Amino acid sequence: MVKSSFTTSDGLKLAFQDEGEGTPVLCLSGLTRNGNDFDYVAPYLSNVRLIRLDYRGRGASDWDENFNNYSIPVEARDAVELLDHLNIDKAAILGTSRGGLIAMVLAATVKDRLVGICLNDIGPQIATEGLGKIMGYVGRNPTAKTMNELIAKLPTHFTEFGPVPDGRWQTEAEHHYRETAEGLKINYDPALRDALIEAAKQPPVDLWPLFDAMNDLPLALIRGANSDLLSMETTAEMQRRRPDMIFTNVPDRGHIPFLDEVESLTALNQFIRAIT
């Protein structure tokens, strides 16, 4: 599907996809990823208008000359500006990893624009093991020289994943890397790494108030049973604070579930019924 674009208040052109009819669901992807992440789940969701954003510096969107703008507050502003561009007053958020953190910020700042939030493998406390793994690869091109070599390596890098659909690792590679004369390149701005390093210098922020800001919105959580980013301890506290939260623990999945698993779809369909 060809992506459309809009221009942000600070002049960047950001790519997005907009398809379907019904309650708008804004899909926000993980840190280094883009709207293509939701290709797996899109065919299974009905009665919703699925809107997928490529953050600044990712996918088909413009890169920002100031890497400090690769931040959750700026990306949250971009998300609201996309809704404004589409003349959408209220939307649900399906937030994967970083997208879920952005969703929490939106709940704390523009709750009147939201009708519900579904979090994909993210919570208000991030496990250091998973964060360390992310810092090990973000902003760096893969060592594999060809797409076929990378496809063969991916299962060994993601041992927390059990069986996946045929061709899934190939699709993952094609979504997030591109072949060039110099070898494989990431399809996002490498300066995203600099943004993370700078952010890590700041004092830790308590994110539980952001979680609590979702208190009267329909809420769902999809977790990979083998996740190294969202612990079961954090999950249990999320459930204690929100006993009404729709929850599923997807077997044979780490960070992040693809969202087309039976368990994920069951939770998503329950969530969609709650917001429509």
What span, in angstroms and rounded, lies between the C-alpha atoms of 54 and 105?
A: 18
Please check the confidence at residue 136 and state whether its pLDDT lies above 90. Answer: no
Is 214:117 a contact under the CB 8 Å cutoff? yes
Question: Quick one: average pLDDT of 37-53?
Answer: 96
One-letter amino acid for residue 268 of the chain: L
Chain-centre distance for alpha carbon 60:
16
> What pLDDT does residue 59 have?
96
Please check the confidence at residue 242 and state whether its pLDDT lies above 80. Answer: yes
> What pLDDT does residue 2 have?
82
Is 119:222 a contact under the CB 8 Å cutoff? yes
Summarize pLDDT for 7-38 with one digit per residue, the tens. 999 999 999 999 999 999 999 999 999 999 99
Please check the confidence at residue 143 and state whether its pLDDT lies above 80. Answer: yes
Please check the confidence at residue 265 and state whether its pLDDT lies above 70. Answer: yes
What span, in angstroms and rounded, lies between the C-alpha atoms of 59 and 57?
A: 7
> What pLDDT does residue 3 have?
94
Spatial neighbors of 161 by CB under 8 A, at least 6 apart, are 155, 226, 252, 253, 254
One-letter amino acid for residue 5 of the chain: S
> What pLDDT does residue 6 have?
98
What span, in angstroms and rounded, lies between the C-alpha atoms of 34 and 142?
A: 18
% of the chain surpassing 70 pLDDT: 100
State the burial class of residue 29 (Cβ atoms within 10 Å of its Cβ: 0-12, 13-18, 19+).
buried
> What pLDDT does residue 11 have?
98
The token pair that represents 109 in the structure block: 């700042």
> What pLDDT does residue 130 have?
86
Summarize pLDDT for 180-234 with one digit per residue, the tens. 988 999 999 999 999 999 998 999 899 999 999 999 999 999 999 999 999 999 9
> What pLDDT does residue 62 have?
98
Summarize pLDDT for 66-123 with one digit per residue, the tens. 999 999 999 999 999 999 999 999 999 999 999 999 999 999 999 999 999 999 999 9
What span, in angstroms and rounded, lies between the C-alpha atoms of 15 and 12?
A: 10
Q: How confident is the model at residue 128 (pLDDT cuts 50, 70, 90)?
A: confident
Give the chain's mean pLDDT: 96
Question: Quick one: average pLDDT of 138-145?
Answer: 92
% of the chain surpassing 90 pLDDT: 91
Give the 3-state secondary structure of 47-67: CEEEEEECCCCECCCCCCCCH
The token pair that represents 251 in the structure block: 């077997």
Residue 39, SS3 per DSSP: helix
Instruction: Tell if the pTM clears 0.85, that is, is over it.
Output: yes
What span, in angstroms and rounded, lies between the C-alpha atoms of 238 and 241?
A: 5
> What pLDDT does residue 1 have?
66
Residue count of the chain: 276
Q: Which of 50, 224, 37 is nearest to 122 (CA)?
A: 224
The token pair that represents 18 in the structure block: 């907009």
> What pLDDT does residue 127 have?
92
The token pair that represents 232 in the structure block: 């079961």
**Consecutive H or E run containing 119:** strand 114-120
